[in-house]
Chains A and B, each alone.
Chain A
Amino acid sequence: MHCRSRILASKIDPHLTPSAGGHINCVRNHKERFCTKVWTKQEKKSTMSNNDNESDVEYSETEECGYDDYYNPCNDADNETMNQKKCDPEHFEFECLTVDQVDRLLNELVETLSSRLRLTPSLSKLLLHAHNWALDSVIRMYLEDSSQLLVQSKLKPEKPPVVKTLSKTLVCPICIMMLPKDVFCGIGCSHLFCKGCWNTYLETQVMHGVSTATECMGCSVMATEDFVLPLLATPQLKERYVRHAFSDYVRSHPELRFCPGPNCNIIIRAKENKSKRIVCNSCKTTFCFRCGSDYHAPTDCETIRHWLTKCADDSETANYISAHTKVCPKCQICIEKNGGCNHMQCYGCKHDFCWMCLGDWKTHGSEYYRCSRYEENPNVANESSHARAKEALKKYLHYFERWENHAKSLRLEEQTLQRIRERIQCKVMTGTDGTWIDWQCLLDAAALLARCRYTLQYTYPYAYYMDAGPRKELFEYQQAQLEAEIENLSWKVERAETTDRGDLGIQMDVCEKRRTTLLQDFLES
Chain B
Amino acid sequence: MAGLPRRIIKETQRLMAEPVPGISAVPDEQNARYFHVVVAGPEGSPFEGGVFKLELFLPEEYPMSAPKVRFMTKIYHPNIDKLGRICLDILKDKWSPALQIRTVLLSIQALLSAPNPDDPLANDVAELWKVNEAEAIRNAREWTRTYAMGNI
Contact = CB atoms under 8 A, between A and B. Distances in A.
B6 A368 contact: no
A367 B65 CA distance: 32
A370 B98 contact: no
B6 A191 contact: no
Contacts of B44: none
B122 A368 contact: yes
Count class of interface residues, chain A: 10 to 19
Contacts of B76: 368
Contacts of B123: 370
Q: Is the interface of A mostly helix, strand, loop or mixed?
A: loop
A382 interface: no
Contacts of A177: 6
Contacts of A369: 124
B65 A373 contact: no
B98 A372 contact: no
A174 B97 contact: yes
Given A368-B82, A368-B124, 12 more contacts: A174-B97, A174-B98, A175-B6, A177-B6, A191-B98, A200-B64, A204-B61, A204-B64, A204-B65, A215-B96, A368-B76, A370-B124
Contacts of B125: 368
A378 interface: no
Interface of B: 5-7, 10, 61, 63-65, 76, 82, 96-98, 122-125
Given A204-B61, A204-B65, A369-B124, A176 B97 contact: no
25 contacts: A173-B98, A174-B97, A175-B6, A175-B7, A176-B6, A176-B10, A177-B6, A197-B97, A201-B64, A201-B97, A204-B61, A204-B64, A204-B65, A217-B96, A217-B98, A367-B82, A368-B76, A368-B122, A368-B124, A368-B125, A369-B124, A370-B123, A370-B124, A372-B124, A373-B124
A218 interface: yes
Interface string A315-333: 0000000000000000000
A175 B98 contact: no
Nearest to A369: B124
B128 to A, nearest CB: 8
